[in-house]
Chains A and B, each alone.
Chain A
Amino acid sequence: MEKEAILELRNIRKVFDKNVALDSVSFSLYPGEIHGLLGGNGAGKTTLMNVLYGLYRRDDGDINFHGQKLNIQGPKDAITHGIGMVHQHFLQIGSYTVLENIVLGTDVSHPVTMKLSAEAQKIIDLGNRFRLPVDPNAVVDTLPVGTRQKVEILKALYRGVEVLILDEPTTNLTPQEVDDLFESLRVIVNEGLSIVFITHKLREVLHVCDRITVLREGRNITSLTRAEASEEIFVRAMVGDQMKIEGSVYFSHGSMANTAVDESATPALEMHDVGLKTKEGISRLAGLNFQIRQGELFGVAGVAGNGQRELAECVTGVVIPTEGKILMKGQDVTDVPVCELLKDWISYIPEDRLHDGFLPKANVAQNLILGYHRQEPYCEGSFIKWDTVYDKVRGYIGEYKIKTNGPEDPGGNLSGGNIQRVMIARAFSMNSHLMVAHNPTRGLDIPSMDFVYNKMLERKETGASTLLISEDLDELLLICDRIAVLYRGQIVGILARKDFDKYVIGRLMSGIQAEETADLRAAS
Chain B
Amino acid sequence: MDSLVTFLRLTLLSMVPFVLAAQGTMLGGRTGVFNVAQEGIMLVGASLGFIGSYLAGGSTLVGIAAAVLVGGIFGLALAYFTTTLKMNQFVIGLSLLFIGTGLSTLIPKLVIGVTLSQPLIPTLQDLPIPLLSQIPFLGTVLFSHNILVYFAIVLSIGLWYFLFRTQLGLELRSVGENPNAADSLGINTSKHRYVTAILGGMLIGLAGAYLPMVYTGTFTEGMVKGRGWLTIALTFFAGWSPLPVLYGSLFFAGIEVASYRFQAGGIAIPYQYLLMVPYLATILVMMFTFRKTRVPGFLGNNYDREKRSL
Chain A interface residues toward B at CB < 8 A: 16, 53, 55-57, 74-77, 79-80, 85, 87, 89, 91-96, 100-101, 104-108, 111-114, 155, 353-354, 415-416, 419, 443
Contacts and interface: CB of A to CB of B under 8 A. Distances in A.
Interface string B282-310: 00000000000000010000000110111
Interface in B172-229: 174, 177-178, 180-188
Interface residues of B, number: 24
Nearest to B166: A112
B166 A111 contact: yes
Among A77, A91, A105, A354, max chain B CB count under 10 A is at A105
A75 B186 contact: yes
Nearest to A74: B186
B183 A75 contact: yes
B147 interface: no
A66 to B, nearest CB: 20
A104 B165 contact: no
23 contacts: A55-B305, A55-B306, A56-B305, A74-B183, A74-B186, A75-B185, A85-B184, A91-B181, A93-B177, A93-B181, A94-B177, A94-B178, A95-B177, A96-B170, A96-B177, A104-B171, A105-B185, A105-B186, A111-B166, A113-B165, A114-B165, A114-B167, A354-B310
A75 B305 CA distance: 11
The A contact surface, by secondary structure, is loop
A416 B306 CA distance: 14
Contact of B182 (A105, A107, A353): A105
A415 B310 CA distance: 7
A53 B171 CA distance: 20
Contacts of B306: 16, 55-57
Given A57-B306, A111-B168, A112-B165, A91 B177 contact: no
A49 to B, nearest CB: 12
B183 A107 contact: no
A108 B184 contact: no
A89 B309 contact: yes
B308 A93 contact: no
Given A91-B181, A93-B178, A105-B187, A114 B170 contact: yes
Contacts of B177: 93-96
A5 to B, nearest CB: 25
A168 B183 CA distance: 20
Nearest to B185: A105
Nearest to A114: B165
Contact of A104 (B182, B309, B310): B182
Contacts of B186: 74-77, 79-80, 105
Interface in B94-133: none
Contacts of A113: 165
Contacts of B178: 91-94
Contacts of A111: 166-168
B174 A96 contact: yes
Interface in B147-172: 165-168, 170-171
A89 B177 CA distance: 15
B170 A55 contact: no
Contacts of B170: 96, 100, 104, 114
Contacts of B174: 93, 96, 104
Contacts of A353: 310
Nearest to B178: A93
A100 B297 CA distance: 16
A503 B78 CA distance: 54
B183 A55 contact: yes
Given A92-B178, A100-B170, A75 B184 contact: yes
A79 B166 CA distance: 22
A416 B171 contact: no
Interface string B254-269: 0000000000000000
A75 B178 CA distance: 15
A57 B177 CA distance: 24
A95 B241 CA distance: 14
A91 B184 contact: yes
Contacts of A76: 186, 188
A55 B310 contact: no
A411 to B, nearest CB: 10
B159 to A, nearest CB: 14
Interface string B230-245: 0000000000000000
Given A104-B187, A112-B166, 7 more contacts: A16-B306, A87-B184, A89-B309, A91-B184, A93-B297, A104-B174, A108-B167
Contacts of A416: 308-310
Contacts of B297: 93-95
A101 B180 CA distance: 13
A96 B170 CA distance: 9
Contacts of A108: 167
A143 to B, nearest CB: 15
A77 B182 CA distance: 14
A81 to B, nearest CB: 11
Contacts of B308: 16, 416
Among B186, B297, B309, max chain A CB count under 10 A is at B186
